[in-house]
Amino acid sequence: MEKRLFVDILNPRGEVETQYRKPAPRVSDLKGKTIGLIDNKKAGGREFLEIIKALLEKNYLGIKFVDLSKAFGEKYRMKNYIDQLRGIEAAIYSTGD
């Protein structure tokens, strides 16, 4: 007689209630705007943003930048990070690797 083994397979993902939120409106022009350049401290992320920064400076008069870093693995106070984002009108986020 053949023995059969039965296993219950469970989905580890929880059910999360979500709400649709309309995305922020796009910035119509970068001229004179303050742009946040955010990297997640992975290799190559900051270098990529520096190249983007140089290209934007050539093409948009009066553009300003705020350089930020955020690593998800570090113990980080989110309020401080949010406070650093105040005043920027658009952001470019780089993940590196």
Radius of gyration of the chain (CA): 21
pLDDT, tens digit (0-9, with 9 covering 90-100), for 31-40 = 999 999 988 8
What integer pLDDT is reported at residue 79 of this predicted model? 67
What integer pLDDT is reported at residue 71 of this predicted model? 64
How far is 29 from 31, CA to CA, in rounded Å?
6
For the segment 12-20, the average pLDDT, to the nearest whole number, is: 83
Question: How many CB atoms within 10 Å of residue 91?
Answer: 13
pLDDT, tens digit (0-9, with 9 covering 90-100), for 37-76 = 988 888 888 899 999 999 999 999 999 999 887 765 555 5
Tokens of 42: 């992975």
Q: What percent of the chain is modeled with pLDDT above 70?
A: 86
